[in-house]
Structure 1
Amino acid sequence: MKFTWQYQGSEPQSVRTFLKGHGISRTLLKKIKFHGGGLTVADQAVTVRTLLVPGQILAVQLPPEPAPITLTPSKQPLTIVWEDAHFLVVAKPAQVASLPSHVYPRDTMADRVLGYYQRQGYADQGIHIVMRLDRGTSGLMLFAKHAFGHTLLSQQLNDHQLQKTYLALVQGRLAYSHNRITFPIKRAPGSFIERTTAVGGRAALTEYWCQQQFKTAALVKIKLHTGRTHQIRVHFAAIGHPLLGDELYAGPTVVNLMRPALHCVQLRFFHPFLARVISLTAPLPPDLQRLIAQENNYPVK
């Protein structure tokens, strides 16, 4: 992948400073220097100390990205929601992990994307997950196709410019149609997986809007203002409304629901190379559609 920019300043500026202004990090600069990339002006190699003069065009060649040796390409198909040369958005099924672990070492979303890249014959096969989802959560997942794109979107994520919207079914009747949950979150004592709300935890903010109130459950739209592990699940359990099917956080068991009732329904981000906002949606999967239809048979009284 190659990028070019024309320097339009009025005074000479170092390549390092110029590239920093375009979002290229020190880490990426090191990869460019030591792993097969390059910096050129008029087809002549330059270094980060080279001074650019007004009107010069700097070309940045990113290093090649081979397939990660930690992944095993999967033949399972992908549901592609949106794709271009820089980013890939897919609809993740429930019960598929985002990345390999000792519990789920194969056929993760990362493995499936790698398999797709190889079937497509893409030269670069680096896997860059911009936003992951819990294994039980369905919905939109965003991948960058190169390290530069990953850097830029990770910054958007840190600056809360990349927006994710979720739908969830939670237990009980909500006291408020709109509310913000602000309990800090930390790892539960004695567990590597479970989280809990507690003084001394990391700040966390979850905002929700009730979309439909059923007799014993509610459909809520959720916006995350922070990105803590299990944040939605922990916060709703903390206010006495755990997600349906969420065994880890004391959610009620529901027939034919084998995971927490949580779905990433919308994703919105600024595309740094197209200079426009990308807004995408993914419909609710059949298990949650059936659950809502079932709840609708028991109206609020």
Structure 2
Amino acid sequence: MKPLTHNITVEDEGTRIDRWLSGKLASESRNRIQQLIKNGDIRVNGSQVKTSYKLRFNDQVLIHLPEPEPLNVSPEQIPLDIVFEDGSVIVVNKPRGMVVHPAPGHMSGTLVNALLGHCRDLSGINGILRPGIVHRIDRETSGLLMVAKTDQAHRSLAKQLKDKSTKRKYLAIVHGNLPHDEGIIDAPIGRSEKDRKKMAVTEKNSKHAVTHFKVLERFSNYTFVACRLETGRTHQIRVHMAYIGHPLAGDPKYGPRKTLPINGQALHAAELGFIHPVTRQQMLFCAALPDDMARLLEGLRNGRYSS
């Protein structure tokens, strides 16, 4: 890949190089950027620098992104619910229980395996195990995901996520009866200090996180809500709803074990909107509630799960 060269302006003077690069390389994580700096793939005035280096006026930053490694994840003929597809983007409705990308313990049966079985032309920016994956939803969450077929599309979609210009609406069933019809949860999320496998609202090593919620329907001990993500942190809706005392039904990680009969948290990515990376057209997609959540709602309306 051809190296990119940038000359630092007065406005960027004094900014840490890793923070500055986060704005330039929207598709790359902060950890990935720091690793590129440490590897010498990013240099200032021809020299290797530390990740904490503060830029100076007229510094010349050379960015060399290594070529993506060849894919070695096995394509699998797994049925996909494809909502939209063209030469740049695929929008897929992921079923509950499917892992998004391969990881230790889940090297097959993932959405990536299924996508590679459907088509080989996926963005290589995220490397071998996550081709085309711009964002993720949890294994036990169902709903819409956008997947990039080209690196250009990947960079555009990742930048839209970073700029908070995408639309992501989720439907959820939560424990208890929310006292307000709608609200905003603005609370930072980071790794839990008590349990490293969980996320939590915390001030230490956390990231800004905002969730908007609106009550759609109330039941005796449960509430059906719509949540809109302003940011996209790991387990954000699950953590935020638990934080205000209304954890998701079916989510023993952040809520009670006694819950509604569903295999995973009652959370569904129902709407996804973005600007098409090539046509610049505003796109909006919707996915109906999966059968398991629809059955729960019907049972709640009939008073079947009143306790």
Which 10-residue stretch deviates more, 172-181 or 192-201?
A: 192-201
What is the correspondence of 1:74-153 to structure 2 with a 5 Å cutoff?
74-118=76-120, 126=124, 127-153=131-157
Size of the aligned set, in residue pairs, is 242
Match of 2:71 in 1: 68
| Counterpart selection for 1:205 from 203, 210, 230 | 210
Change (3 A) 1:108 1:27: closer
The alpha carbon displacement at 1:209 in A equals 0.4
Change (3 A) 1:214 1:68: same
Q: Does 1:246 align with 2:257?
A: no
Match of 2:166 in 1: 162
2:81 and 2:92 in contact (8 A); partners too: yes
What is the correspondence of 1:1-301 to structure 2 with a 5 Å cutoff?
68-69=71-72, 71-118=73-120, 126=124, 127-189=131-193, 191-200=195-204, 201-254=206-259, 256-298=261-303
SS of the counterpart of 1:128? coil
SS of the counterpart of 1:155? helix
* Distance in structure 2 (CA, Å) of the matches to 1:207 and 1:26: 24
Q: Where do 5+ consecutive residues of structure 2 fail to align?
A: 7-22, 29-66, 125-130
1:212 and 1:220 in contact (8 A); partners too: yes
2:249 and 2:260 in contact (8 A); partners too: no
1:243 and 1:252 in contact (8 A); partners too: no
* Distance in structure 1 (CA, Å) of the matches to 2:176 and 2:257: 10
Q: CA RMSD in A?
A: 2.7
2:222 partner amino acid: A
Change (3 A) 1:24 1:243: closer
The alpha carbon displacement at 1:251 in A equals 3.7
1:67 and 1:114 in contact (8 A); partners too: no
For the pair shown, the structure with the greater C-alpha radius of gyration is 1
Match of 1:52 in 2: none
The alpha carbon displacement at 1:275 in A equals 2.1
2:123 and 2:148 in contact (8 A); partners too: no
* Distance in structure 2 (CA, Å) of the matches to 1:143 and 1:136: 19
TM-score by length of 2: 0.72
TM-score by length of 1: 0.74
